[in-house]
Structure 1
Amino acid sequence: MDQPWVFIVLFGLIFIVYATIVPKRSAAKGQANPTIREIEETMEHFTAELDEQNKALIQMLAETKRDYEMQAAKLSSRVETLEKQFTQTSQEMSKLGYAHEELQKKTVHRADLISTSEFNQPMVIVENEPEPIAELPMAMNLKTRYAELFTLYEQGKSTDFMAKKLNMNKGEINLIFQLAKQEEKLSAH
Structure 2
Amino acid sequence: MNDAWLYVMLLGAAAVVYAFLIPKEKSANQASRSDRVVREVEQTLEQYMVEMEKENDDLVNLVVQIKQETGAKQLALQEQLGDMRSRLAEMERTAGKHEARIEQLSTVDTRSTQETAVQLRNELLENTVTVTPSPEPQSEPEDSVRHRYPQLFELHDQGKSVDAIAKAIGLQRGEIQLILRLAKREEA
TM-score normalised by length of structure 2: 0.57
What corresponds to 1:147 in structure 2?
A: 150
CA distance in 1, matches of 2:144, 2:186: 12
Following TM superposition, by how much is the alpha carbon of 1:157 offset from its aligned partner in structure 2, in angstroms? Answer: 4.4
Q: In the superposition, relative to structure 1, how do residues 112 and 149 fare at CA in structure 2: closer, same or farther (>3 Å)?
A: closer
Pair 1:113–1:102, CA change in 2 (3 A): same
Where do 1:72-111 residues align within 5 Å?
72-111=81-120
Q: Considering only CA atoms, is the larger Rg found in Structure 1 or Structure 2?
A: 2
Per the alignment, residue 181 of structure 1 pairs with: 181
- CA distance, structure 1, for counterparts of residue 129 and residue 50 of structure 2: 116
**1:99 CA displacement:** 0.9
Higher relative CO (Cα under 8 Å, sequence separation at least 6) belongs to 2
The equivalent of 1:66 in structure 2 is 75
Q: CA RMSD in A?
A: 3.3
Quote how far apart the aligned CAs of 1:115 are: 3.6
Between the aligned partners of 1:91 and 1:147, the Cα distance in structure 2 is: 38
Moved more, 94-103 or 33-42: 33-42
Q: Does 1:50 align with 2:85?
A: no
The 1:40/1:177 distance shift into structure 2, 3 A limit, reads closer
Distance 1:71 1:159, change over 3 A: farther
Question: In the TM superposition, what is the alpha-carbon distance from 1:102 to its structure 2 partner?
Answer: 1.2
The match for 1:17 is none
Structure 2 contact 145–182 (Cα < 8 Å) conserved = no
Deviation of 1:36 (Å): 4.6
What SS is found at the alignment partner of 1:148?
Answer: helix
CA contact (8 A) 2:128 2:186 kept: no
Equivalent residue runs for 1:1-80 within 5 Å: 33-80=42-89
Q: How far, CA to CA, are the matches of 1:182 and 1:158 in structure 2?
A: 17
Q: Which is further off, 38-47 or 98-107?
A: 38-47
The unaligned stretches of length 5 or more in structure 2 are 1-40, 131-140
Give the paired residue count.
138
The SS at the match of 1:170 is coil
Return the TM-score normalized by structure 1.
0.56
1:114 matches 2:123: yes
Local SS of the residue matching 1:140:
coil
What's the offset of the Cα at 1:39?
4.3
